[in-house]
Amino acid sequence: MPDLRRVAHDDPFGAWEVDLHGHQVVYRVAGSGPPVVLIHGMVNSSRHWRTVALQLAERHTVIAPDLVGHGDSATPRGDYSLGAHASVIRDLLSALGIGRATIVGHSFGGGVAMVFFWQFPHRVERLGLVSSGGLGPEVSPLLRSVALPGASALISLAGADRVTGGLDRAGARLRERGSGLGVQLQAIARALKPLGGPGAREAFVHTLRAVIDARGQRVSATDRLYLLDAVPTLIAWGERDRTIPIEHGRAAHAAVPHSRFVELEGAAHFPHLEAPGALAAALLDWIAQTEPAALDDEAWRALLRRRAQVRPRAA
């Protein structure tokens, strides 16, 4: 049994750490009831889910991990692909004795959530995608530029406290004046702040390059969205998202039978921070009104056979 250690005491969304495969993985837990897993995006952490998690915790056990290379988890030299992150979450849930759960992912975390479903469909009761990556090639020019060679040195400068502090203060002033640009500046400051250390910078660059290059998102789930027909799916998006276009969410909603689409008013790319109450309410309503999926090998085989074409190969 892995060694589980409490990090933050007397906190309703308290942090724990576990040693998995020789690396520290930090996660936060709140509430009791059917489990919900919240997966953050790049350069975010479990802390960013706090407001949403505490509202969900009134009815659910909420588990929010720091992905490896993010937050307070280890930043080893290693694999930062979507599949690697999904496997760590699988192992974390196994260590906690959780077999099946509702899986919710934001941005890059949405890609991790989808790959978790492809790899371990029997462990997913519902799938929630919040401003998710992996649903189309378009992504902000800023993220495309970070994928270019030599970007790590620029990230080091941009992550300095004086830069992130200045951006955050400027964003706050603009928001007070009613300018939408303020939200974007504060989002950039939030994203850059964790990148002060070399391990975090390297992990971020490896994570980003696993899914984005100079032309945009290089990993797509659109060819297998039909598999989500078997699991209740929520797609939520900030109406003012300029990082990943809301059109990706609308197209995925059209492609996924029986999915639910929620447009979050006033939010940009970080609805869990910019409209946490609305997002939590949407999640709670969706969970309450849907029955959990229970896929076994035979059900998964039937889903695949709807599209699979097995035939002898021509000589």
176 and 298 housed in the same domain:
no
User: Binning pLDDT at 50, 70 and 90, where does residue 309 land?
Assistant: confident
User: Binning pLDDT at 50, 70 and 90, where does residue 189 land?
Assistant: low
* 61-65 vs 101-106, strand pairing mode: unpaired
Question: Where do the DSSP E strands lie in 144-281?
Answer: 212-213, 216-217, 233-238, 260-264
209 and 255 housed in the same domain:
no
175 and 267 housed in the same domain:
no
Total structural domains within the chain? 2
The verdict on residue 314 lying in a domain is no
Which CATH number covers residue 69?
A: 3.40.50.1820
Active site residue 297: no
Active site residue 269: yes
The domain of 250 spans 4-136+220-305
33 and 147 housed in the same domain:
no
Domain boundary among 165, 188, 217: 217
Average pLDDT over residues 108-118: 97
Active site residue 60: no
124 and 245 housed in the same domain:
yes
3-state percent helix, strand, coil for the chain, nearest multiple of 5:
45, 20, 35
56-66 pLDDT, tens digit each:
999 999 999 99
Q: Mean pLDDT of all residues in the chain?
A: 86
pTM, entire model? 0.85
Note whether 212 and 239 are within 8 A (CB): no
| Catalytic residue (choose from 107, 131, 132, 140) | 107
| Catalytic residue (choose from 85, 253, 269, 272) | 269
pLDDT > 70 in the chain, percent: 82
204 and 274 housed in the same domain:
no
Average pLDDT over residues 150-163: 52
* 31-40, 43-52, 201-210, range with greatest mean pLDDT: 31-40
| Catalytic residue (choose from 66, 131, 241, 248) | 241
